[in-house]
Amino acid sequence: AAGHYQVCLTVTVMSPTTGNVLCTTNHCDSIHIGNNTPNCHANFNYHHLSSPFTYGFNNLSSPNATGYMWHFGDATTSNLANPVHNYMSPGIYQVCVTMFDTIHHCSKTKCKIVNASFAMAPVQASTVERLTVENTDNLSVTVYPNPTADKATIHIENATSEVNFKLYDSTGKSVIEKNKLTNGDFELNNSAYAPGIYYYRVTDENNSLVSGKLMIQK
């Protein structure tokens, strides 16, 4: 029958030996069945912002859209045209935007998969190229013991300049910062912080980048 339908394709990969599900993902789009298809489409792109799990969403839907509904895949929603959303933890989320056009009396939905992982501020293509070319000094940073309880050690090798160390909690808030470190061992006092997964990022003046996870257990 004529109407507006949302169609979803789900792909599941299973182990041929155990039969366990290895991964699954889906993609949804909408289709209008009828003689007069309205000029109505939904689309968006997204970009990573400054904290580990915060993303900005840019609406690319029909310019005559009169309303929006976003579902971020973590039981939260927004009706803004271009929302910013912070995930509380890393993961793979299906984000969907539904646009409403009260002029042509139609709506359409577009979904995409967002892999929210620890990555810092987005960089331009020129910066990526510079990182690829200049990150040849093999900067090495190890934080141990990992997991840790109250104190850990930051071990730095092959630094050709002073480096900056930042530790972030799962919301993207910077909780510890140590600047102007060189090769050697440095104490990290984490006794005041709650148990959980934390993320560190180390950079030097040559744009070398090292990042990783630190588990705090009490």
SS (H, E, C) 133-185: HHCCCCCEEEEECCCECCEEEEEEECCCCCEEEEEECCCCCEEEEEEEECCEE
pTM: 0.43
Give, for 40, the enclosing helix (H) or strand (E). none
Query: Tokens 């050709």 — which residue?
Result: 160
Task: Name the percent of the chain lying above pLDDT 70.
Answer: 83
Question: What is the pLDDT, as a whole number, of residue 51?
Answer: 67
Task: Write the DSSP symbol of residue 47.
Answer: E
How far is 4 from 64, CA to CA, in rounded Å? 18
Question: What is the pLDDT, as a whole number, of residue 37?
Answer: 52
Confidence of residue 120 (pLDDT cuts 50, 70, 90): very low
Query: Tokens 């939904």 — which residue?
Result: 42
Question: What is the pLDDT, as a whole number, of residue 102?
Answer: 78
Confidence of residue 50 (pLDDT cuts 50, 70, 90): low
Q: Is residue 13 predicted with pLDDT exceeding 80?
A: yes
